Structures are given as structure tokens and as C-alpha cells.
């Protein structure tokens, strides 16, 4: 008999009572669309549902398709063909509400704890890389975090290229879509900050509104409250812990690293844009020293290197965050390049 297992294997067995001689089909081309809906399937089989969803959101079907892609597409095993999460897609069409359904369908708590314990947050904020041969370790206790995230669906293949030195494929891994990104960021931030998920969501909404309105006081107060909630007795090095939490929090708020800044000017730590608003962030770290000096340095770096030049058509605010030993401070200023 032939049976499909959730881990991406075909089993050949001489009885119906045994499971043996497993063959890994994860990277085989003929199985790339096995675990989800393709774009063609979505547009062909769900026409009435898509029209109803478009009406519910007061927009056209093309707009709805783009939003579904953003939330639930992106899973790929070859870096070329991507598929939609079938369960989340069906729930969306049933409930007519774009929301994060991933965690409610069974994210293991041990995965969040493992990422926190290993302090591997950067894996979720920038692309990671692996070789196909790396995939063969199945002991989660010793498995590389990025492989565990890939095998559990939190990272997917965005690109596959052959090595310059041999025929081996090198895979670029990244978070599949908005649903998975929100799941990870919400629960990791909650875990790092010792907040409940409800508190984390409320703080996020409050700070996003402050960013948009330019309310410096609310933003600074909220950020300081976030870090102040961390117990002093944490065994993880405080600076690294704070650093990871800040990266998670900025990502949750919608900040992203802007890699398009010219190399002769440097590279932005992070930028947040929404409608006519842009907030440009620079983060400074030091084992000890004056927080005010670090904040002033961050502000001057943004202005001195012209990081704001690509955003002059928006309302601009400069955000400086400083870590000096155990002290944390932030400062946000409205800025006009004129």
C-alpha cells in the first residue's frame, strides 16, 4: 500500500499494520502542490465564495485575491510554486474575516519556548539558508532551529539555487505569509515580555496609533512599560534578551529593515510606513555609558546619513532607542528636512 504521512513521506509496506521503508518526498517536484490550494485551484473552484467575500469587504474580486494571497499563500517546497493554507482559506471563505487562524489550530508551545531558550529571534526577521542534506536530522532536541521551523511550517522555501561549487541546492527560507508572521510575533513577544497575548495586542494597537499620530509621549511610555515588565531574575543575558524583544516588537509594529539605502550612506536599522507616515528607527547598544549620548548619536546618524531622503513625501518622525547596560530609553522626534 501507499500512504501519505504529514511529514512529507510515502510509505511502502507489505501489510496494512506496519509503517516502514519511508521515502522522503518533501523536495520532489511532483508533490509540490500536494498540501495546499494552488492559485489556479483557488480561482477556479471558489468563484461564488470569492464574490461573496468581495461583497462582504466592499471591494472587487482581484482585491480580495490579493489579500488572501498576503494572508494565507506562500508555502513552497521548490521556491517556485506556492500554495495556500487550505484550512485557513476555507475558514476565511466561511467566516468572511481576514484573521490569524494559525495558532488556534495547534502551534506547539515547546516551539516558542525553544526559540526563546536559544534566543534565535533573528531567524524570523531575515532570510535563513539551508542545504537539502541539512534536512535529515529529526531529533528536535539537537535540530537546528531553522530546520525545525521549516519542518513545522513556520519557514518555507522562497528560492532554490545551485551552489557555485557543486550541484547541491541552497534554499532560502522565510516566513510564508502574514498569518504565520503574526502568530509567531504575537506569541514570541508575549513570551519575551511576560505579557498575555491580549495585553500584547492592545499595546501594539496603542503604539501603532501613536506612531501614526506622532504622539511621542504615548509611544515612549508604552515601550518603556514593555521592557519594565521583564523580571529582573531572568537567567538569559539581559542585553541580548532586550535586543531580541525589541526586534520582535518593531517587527510586530510593522517596521522592516530597509536594505535599499545606498551602501555609501549605510543601512537603516528599521523603517515603519503607513499611508502618509514614515518613522525611521536607529538602535544603539553599549555595555555602559550615558543613555542620552546614545540617543543623540542615533538621531544624528539618521540625519547625517540622509536616511530620511527616500521618505520626504511623507510625514517623518525619527525614533532612537538606546541600551546602556541595564538601562533602556527611547526618544521620538518629528522631523522636517526643510
**Nearest alpha-carbon partner for 254 in 272, 276, 281:** 272
Residue 48: all three cell numbers together: 461564488
Confidence (pLDDT) at 4: 34
3-state SS, residue 199? helix
**pTM attached to this predicted model:** 0.76
Q: What's the CA gap between 267 and 262, in Å, rounded?
A: 7
Integer Cα distance of 103 and 153 in angstroms: 12
Contacts of residue 70, defined as CB under 8 A and 6 or more positions apart, other chains included, come to: 177, 178
List pLDDT tens digits, range 173-201: 999 999 998 888 888 888 888 778 788 88
Which residues have CB under 8 Å from 219's CB, separation 6+? 207, 210, 211, 319, 330, 332
On the question of pLDDT at 11 being above 60, the answer is: no
Closest CA to 229 of 244, 245, 211: 245
Q: Higher pLDDT residue, 125 or 5?
A: 125
- Is residue 313 a contact partner of residue 273, using CB atoms and an 8 Å limit? no
CA 104, CA 139: separation in Å to the nearest integer? 25
Percent of the chain with pLDDT over 70: 83
pLDDT-based confidence at residue 6 (cuts at 50, 70, 90): very low
Distance of CA 270 to the CA centre of its chain: 14
Distance in angstroms (rounded) separating the CA atoms of residues 163 and 167: 6
- In angstroms, the Cα distances linking 161 to 149, 173, 174, 178, 190 are 20, 12, 15, 25, 36
Q: Which three cell numbers stand for residue 82?
A: 506556492
Longest dimension (CA), the chain: 78
Residue pair 84/178 in contact by the 8 Å Cβ criterion: no
Contact between residue 142 and residue 128 where contact means Cβ atoms under 8 Å apart: no
Predicted pLDDT of residue 104: 59
Domain ranges of the chain: 1-28, 104-178, 194-335
Tell me: pLDDT of 246 over 70: yes
Average pLDDT, the chain: 81
Q: Rg (Cα) of the chain, in Å, rounded?
A: 23
Q: CA-CA distance, 233 to 212, in Å (whole number)?
A: 35
Confidence of residue 137 (pLDDT cuts 50, 70, 90): low
| 167: its cell numbers | 550541484
Q: Would you say residue 144 has pLDDT above 70? A: yes
Amino acid at each position: 500500500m501507499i500512504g501519505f504521512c504529514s511529514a512529507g513521506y510515502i510509505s511502502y509496506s507489505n501489510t496494512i499494520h506496519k509503517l516502514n521503508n519511508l521515502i522522503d518526498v518533501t523536495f520532489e517536484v511532483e508533490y509540490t502542490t500536494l498540501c495546499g490550494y494552488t492559485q489556479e485551484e483557488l480561482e477556479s473552484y471558489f468563484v461564488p465564495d470569492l464574490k461573496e467575500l468581495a461583497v462582504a469587504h466592499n471591494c472587487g474580486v482581484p482585491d480580495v485575491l490579493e489579500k488572501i494571497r498576503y494572508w494565507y499563500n506562500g508555502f513552497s517546497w521548490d521556491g517556485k510554486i506556492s500554495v495556500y493554507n487550505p484550512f485557513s482559506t476555507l475558514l476565511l471563505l466561511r467566516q468572511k474575516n481576514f484573521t490569524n487562524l494559525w495558532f488556534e489550530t495547534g502551534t506547539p508551545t515547546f516551539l516558542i519556548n525553544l526559540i526563546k531558550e536559544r534566543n534565535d529571534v533573528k531567524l524570523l526577521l531575515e532570510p535563513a539558508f539551508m542545504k537539502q542534506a541539512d534536512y535529515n536530522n529529526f531529533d528536535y532536541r539537537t535540530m537546528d532551529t531553522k530546520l525545525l521551523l521549516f519542518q513545522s511550517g513556520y519557514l518555507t522555501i522562497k528560492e532554490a539555487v545551485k551552489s557555485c561549487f557543486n550541484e547541491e541546492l541552497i534554499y532560502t527560507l522565510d516566513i510564508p505569509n502574514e498569518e504565520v508572521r503574526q502568530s509567531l510575533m504575537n506569541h514570541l513577544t508575549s513570551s519575551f515580555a511576560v505579557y498575555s497575548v491580549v495585553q500584547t495586542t492592545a499595546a501594539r494597537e496603542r503604539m501603532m496609533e501613536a506612531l501614526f499620530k506622532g504622539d511621542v509621549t504615548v509611544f515612549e511610555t508604552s515601550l518603556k512599560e514593555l521592557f519594565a515588565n521583564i523580571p529582573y531574575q531572568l537567567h538569559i543575558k539581559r542585553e541580548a534578551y532586550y535586543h531580541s524583544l525589541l526586534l520582535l516588537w518593531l517587527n510586530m509594529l510593522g517596521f522592516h529593515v530597509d536594505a535599499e539605502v545606498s551602501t555609501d550612506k549605510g543601512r537603516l536599522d528599521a523603517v515603519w510606513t503607513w499611508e502618509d507616515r514614515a518613522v525611521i528607527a536607529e538602535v544603539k547598544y553599549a555595555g555602559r555609558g550615558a543613555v542620552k549620548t546614545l540617543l543623540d548619536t542615533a538621531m544624528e546618524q539618521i540625519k547625517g546619513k540622509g536616511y530620511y531622503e527616500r521618505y520626504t513625501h511623507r510625514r517623518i518622525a525619527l525614533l532612537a532607542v538606546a541600551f546602556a547596560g541595564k538601562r533602556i530609553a527611547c526618544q521620538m522626534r518629528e522631523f522636517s528636512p526643510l
